[in-house]
Amino acid sequence: SQQGEEDPQALSIQEGENATMNCSYKTSINNLQWYRQNSGRGLVHLILIRSNEREKHSGRLRVTLDTSKKSSSLLITASRAADTASYFCATNTGNQFYFGTGTSLTVIP
């Protein structure tokens, strides 16, 4: 079974609004990563947060990690139409990456 599960499965917002998506996982991790996938393309790495970190920022992205609850959230602030994509969390347990089923984000101009 997969490590990560994203919630919600789909999200539709207006341009300029914030988008929040959540990820839950099952076992201990070394780090957790978020990736974006545009339709028909490969995945692109967005941000990595290590197991001893609680929050990390990168531009308009903010990631939190709660290892006690085995959960993470990705916040995209001031969304743009170009942010329309699928977002996946990936848990890194040393040798392996496990991905969730993803959140499909649609940003309406």
43 binds other proteins per the rule CB under 8 A: yes
Size of the site for other proteins (CB under 8 A): 26
87 binds other proteins per the rule CB under 8 A: no
CB 19 within 8 A of CB 11: yes
10-14 and 61-66 beta bridge pairing: unpaired
90 binds other proteins per the rule CB under 8 A: yes
108: tokens are 């309406």
> What is the spatial distance between Cα 95 and Cα 106, in angstroms, rounded to a whole number?
33
59 binds other proteins per the rule CB under 8 A: no
Burial environment of residue 97 by CB neighbours within 10 A (0 to 12, 13 to 18, 19 or more): middle
* Nearest distance from C-beta of residue 64 to other proteins, angstroms: 19
User: Exactly one of 20, 22, 24, 31 binds other proteins (CB under 8 A); which one?
Assistant: 31
Q: Which residues bind other proteins (CB under 8 A)?
A: 1-2, 4, 30-31, 33, 35, 40-45, 48, 88, 90, 92, 94-102
